[in-house]
Amino acid sequence: MKKVSILILMVAVVLSSCTNSGEGYLIGVQGRGDFFQPDPFGMLFIPMGSYTMGPSDQDVPYSQTAQSKTVSIQAFYMDETEITNNEYRQFVHYVRDSIVHTILSNDDEEHLITQNDYEEDYDPPFINWRHRIRWDEPEVRQALEEEIYLPQHERFYRYREIDSRKLNYEYYWIDLKEAAKKDFSKDKRKPDAASLSNRPVGLSDRSVYIRKDVINVYPDTLSWVHDFTYSFNEPMTENYFWHPSYDNYPVVGVNWKQATAFCIWRTQLLHDFMHSIGEPFVHRFRLPTESEWEWAARGGLDLNPYPWGGPYIRNSNGCFNGKYKPLRGNYVDDGGFHTIIVAHWAPNDFGLFDMGGNVAEWTSNAFDESAFNFAHDLNMDYCYDAKDEDPSVLKRKVIRGGSWKDIGYYMQVSSRTYEYQDSCRCFVGFRCVQTYMGRMKGDGAGASNVY
Identity (one letter) of the amino acid at 259?
A
For the chain, give the mean pLDDT: 86
Output the pLDDT for position 415.
Answer: 92
Q: Could you read off the pLDDT of 219-270 as tens digits, one per residue?
A: 999 999 999 999 999 999 999 999 999 999 999 999 999 999 999 999 999 9
Output the pLDDT for position 245.
Answer: 95
- Does 138 sit behind a cis peptide bond, omega within 30 degrees of 0 on the bond before it? no
Torsion angles phi and psi, residue 209, rounded to 5: -105, 0
Output the pLDDT for position 10.
Answer: 52
Residues 6+ apart with CB under 8 A from 5: none
Residues 6+ apart with CB under 8 A from 212: 170, 171, 172
User: For 285, what's the count of Cα atoms within 13 Å in the CB-facing half-sphere?
Assistant: 24
Distance CA 120, CA 115 (A): 5
| CA distance to 188, 224, 238, per residue, from 149 (Å) | 59, 24, 18
Residue 294 CB neighbours (<10 A): 26
Q: Do 425 and 222 contact (CB within 8 A), yes or no?
A: no
Q: Which residues of 77-113 are buried (b: 16+ CB within 10 A; e: fewer)?
A: bbbbbbbbbebbbebbebbbeebbbebbbeeeeebbe
For residue 88, give the nearest of 343, 344, 267, 262 by alpha carbon. Answer: 262
Residues 363, 368, 374: CA angle, nearest 5 degrees:
105
Adjacent-strand bridge partners of 78: 44, 433
Give the burial class of 125: count Cβ atoms within 10 A of its Cβ; 0-12 exposed, 13-18 middle, 19 or more buried.
Answer: middle
Distance CA 71, CA 182 (A): 26
Distance CA 321, CA 297 (A): 14
* More confidently predicted of 382 and 17: 382
| Position 60 pLDDT exceeds 60 | yes
Taken in order of first residue, the domains within the chain and their CATH numbers are 52-84+220-441 (3.90.1580.10)
Distance CA 308, CA 381 (A): 25
User: For 428, what's the count of Cα atoms within 13 Å in the CB-facing half-sphere?
Assistant: 26
Q: Could you read off the pLDDT of 419-445 as tens digits, one per residue?
A: 999 999 999 999 999 999 988 887 654
pLDDT band at residue 316, thresholds of 50, 70 and 90?
A: confident
| Position 364 pLDDT exceeds 60 | yes
* More confidently predicted of 436 and 34: 436
% of the chain with per-residue pLDDT over 90: 51
Output the pLDDT for position 11.
Answer: 47
Residues 342-355 have a mean pLDDT of: 94
Residues 88-104 have a mean pLDDT of: 94
